[in-house]
Chains A and B, each alone.
Chain A
Amino acid sequence: GENVEQHPSTLSVQEGDSAVIKCTYSDSASNYFPWYKQELGKRPQLIIDIRSNVGEKKDQRIAVTLNKTAKHFSLHITETQPEDSAVYFCAASSHRDDKIIFGKGTRLHILP
């Protein structure tokens, strides 16, 4: 089955700097890669996603890149703000079964 690895587990960046979180997946059939943001005790919130027919997608300060050959995908947050502090999960799923397999999460701290 699918296995998603996520790094780093914890990331601290100065407010205004950029943050990058990287993930790898194992199942070449995976074709959908969402990113979720989760604040303590709250639901995972879908913040951006990318499909395997696209290499990059951007939404304001958030961008995601996908390298299908290397089975890598990354989340980039620019001009970080205090409200970006949260746990971020990468995930992968395939059209075959649709269930989402999550990475272990990255706890992002934005330092004032």
Chain B
Amino acid sequence: AAGVIQSPRHLIKEKRETATLKCYPIPRHDTVYWYQQGPGQDPQFLISFYEKMQSDKGSIPDRFSAQQFSDYHSELNMSSLELGDSALYFCASSPAGNEQYFGPGTRLTVT
């Protein structure tokens, strides 16, 4: 079965640079969620989109923005990167009804 696709899988950036993470949801899933997971931490909700509109916002810094496109893929844009942004970033997708299926994640390292 098709799963959530994320790219890139690994990304190394320097402080103050920008990064763009991409997420391709499971076909026919209309909701996309972004989570940030630091080492040894639980995933923290950042932002979600339903039918290409932002549906909820969590602990997402103002330096980050995201959108969902007409083909339902989503991109998380991160600017002025800081060392503390180093984490695993997961995208999850959901059909109507709560169940969220996670992608493999993007490991972002900021040096």
User: How far is the CB of B107 from the nearest CB of chain A, in Å?
Assistant: 8
* Total residue contacts A-B, CB cutoff 8 A: 57
B104 and A98 within 8 A (CB):
no
A: contact size bracket: 20 to 34
Are A98 and B43 in contact, with the CB atoms below 8 A? no
Contact (Cβ within 8 A) B56 A46: no
Contact B104 A95 (CB under 8 A): no
- How far apart are B28's CB and chain A's nearest CB, in angstroms? 17
Seed contacts A43-B103, A98-B98; 19 additional CB < 8 Å A-B pairs: A36-B102, A41-B107, A43-B105, A44-B102, A45-B102, A46-B102, A49-B98, A93-B98, A95-B98, A98-B33, A98-B56, A99-B33, A99-B45, A99-B48, A100-B92, A100-B100, A102-B43, A102-B44, A105-B42
Q: Name B residues whose Cβ lies closer than 8 Å to a Cβ of A.
A: 31, 33, 41-45, 48, 50, 55-56, 58, 88, 90, 92, 94, 98-105, 107
30 contacts across the A-B interface (CB closer than 8 A): A34-B98, A34-B99, A34-B100, A36-B102, A41-B88, A41-B107, A42-B104, A43-B104, A43-B105, A44-B90, A46-B100, A46-B102, A49-B99, A95-B98, A97-B55, A98-B31, A98-B33, A98-B55, A98-B94, A99-B33, A99-B45, A99-B48, A99-B56, A99-B58, A100-B33, A100-B45, A100-B92, A100-B100, A102-B42, A105-B42
